[in-house]
């Protein structure tokens, strides 16, 4: 089966290099982080567009490879965009597990300067993924997260209220370090609440973005 008609049109616009390859930047659709840089030939790009999961060309093995086929760390494709010169691609994905073979969330985890690392929201997105993995565990008692979710949304809501109170108490006591600590607890329990309520972090981020005002 070939790529859909609209995909075939995109393929004709891609300027593959002399080696038949084009660089593909893979970006997390939720938090915007760059996950990896890989290479695609015409066939792997066609499969990516058709099957909505990333396929690449391995320059070392000289063969097609389906991301996550052995590790389970698959990438569900949200969108594929071509740059203005037609010689590079950005693929926005929903990442399952980690992107890097080292076990890191992204392949770009080695700092070359003293600038801060991940964007702050990236940690929240990682937290959401962790909560989802714990929630999906076969044993509902395997983790605190799973046990909390098993008790129902009323219990989860109560915990969020308790953690919010802890933040307020720490702030009123001018305990800066404790505010940071309790805020992290609150964000964790809020992520559990999102899971229980069927809310995605990206929905919350989109709502925040919609409230931006110029100036």
pLDDT of residue 115: 60
Q: Please report, for residues 9, 26, 50, the alpha-carbon distance to residue 43 in angstroms, rounded to integers and kept in the order given.
A: 14, 17, 10
**Mean pLDDT (whole number) for 165-192:** 94
Q: Are residues 135 and 88 in the same domain?
A: no
- Domain for residue 111, yes or no? no
Query: Would you place residue 8 in the very low, low, confident or very high pLDDT band (cuts 50, 70, 90)?
Result: low
Q: Are residues 89 and 127 in the same domain?
A: no
pLDDT of residue 119: 62
Q: Are residues 202 and 135 in the same domain?
A: yes
CA angle 153, 158, 160 (to 5 degrees): 95
CA angle 127, 131, 132 (to 5 degrees): 115
Q: Are residues 134 and 169 in the same domain?
A: yes
Condensed to tens digits (0 to 9), the pLDDT of residues 83-102 reads 999 999 999 999 988 899 89
- Domain for residue 183, yes or no? yes
- Unique residue bearing structure tokens 């008609």: 5
Condensed to tens digits (0 to 9), the pLDDT of residues 13-25 reads 999 999 999 999 9
Q: Are residues 91 and 138 in the same domain?
A: no
Distance CA 40, CA 27 (A): 15
Does the global pTM surpass 0.95? no
Give, rounded to a whole angstrom, the gap between the first and last alpha carbons of the chain: 51
CA angle 137, 70, 198 (to 5 degrees): 35
User: Residue 202's domain spans which residues?
Assistant: 120-210
Q: Are residues 124 and 91 in the same domain?
A: no
- Domain for residue 150, yes or no? yes
- Domain for residue 113, yes or no? no
DSSP string, 69-102: TTTS--EEEEEEEE-TTSS-EEEEEEE-S-SSTT
**Mean pLDDT (whole number) for 177-205:** 92
- Domain for residue 142, yes or no? yes
Condensed to tens digits (0 to 9), the pLDDT of residues 132-175 reads 888 888 787 789 999 999 999 999 999 999 999 999 999 999 99
Measured from the Cβ of residue 13, the count of other Cβ atoms closer than 10 Å reads 8
39 - beta bridge partners? 23
Number of domains in the chain: 2
CATH number at residue 160: 1.10.287.1080
Q: Are residues 124 and 205 in the same domain?
A: yes
Spell out the residues 6+ positions from residue 15 whose beta carbon is closer than 8 angstroms to its own: 22, 85, 86, 87
CATH number at residue 46: 3.10.20.810
Answer yes or no: are the C-beta atoms of 15 and 87 closer than 8 Å: yes
- Domain for residue 105, yes or no? no
Residue 187, sorted as left (phi over 0), alpha (psi -120 to 50) or beta, turns out to be alpha
Q: Which tokens in the block code for residue 129?
A: 């993924």
- H helices within the chain, ranges in order? 5-13, 42-51, 120-135, 144-150, 153-172, 176-197, 201-210
């Amino acid at each position: 089966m070939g790529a859909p008609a609209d995909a075939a049109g995109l393929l004709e616009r891609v300027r593959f290099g002399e080696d038949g390859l084009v660089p593909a930047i893979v970006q997390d659709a939720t938090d915007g982080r760059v996950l990896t840089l890989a290479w695609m030939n015409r066939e792997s790009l066609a499969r990516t567009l058709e099957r909505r999961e990333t396929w690449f060309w391995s320059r070392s093995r000289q063969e097609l490879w389906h991301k996550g086929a052995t590790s389970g760390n698959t990438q569900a494709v949200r969108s594929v965009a071509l740059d203005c010169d037609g010689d590079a691609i950005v693929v926005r994905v929903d990442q399952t597990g980690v992107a890097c073979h080292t076990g890191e969330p992204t392949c770009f985890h080695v700092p070359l300067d003293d600038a801060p690392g991940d964007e702050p929201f990236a940690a929240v997105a990682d937290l959401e993924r962790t909560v989802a993995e714990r929630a999906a565990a076969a044993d509902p008692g395997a983790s605190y997260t799973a046990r909390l979710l098993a008790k129902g949304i009323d219990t989860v809501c109560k915990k969020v209220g308790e953690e919010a109170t802890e933040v307020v108490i720490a702030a009123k006591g001018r305990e800066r370090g404790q505010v940071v600590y309790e805020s992290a607890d609150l964000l964790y329990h809020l992520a559990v609440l999102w899971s229980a309520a069927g809310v995605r972090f990206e929905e919350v981020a989109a709502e925040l973005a919609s409230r931006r005002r110029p100036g």
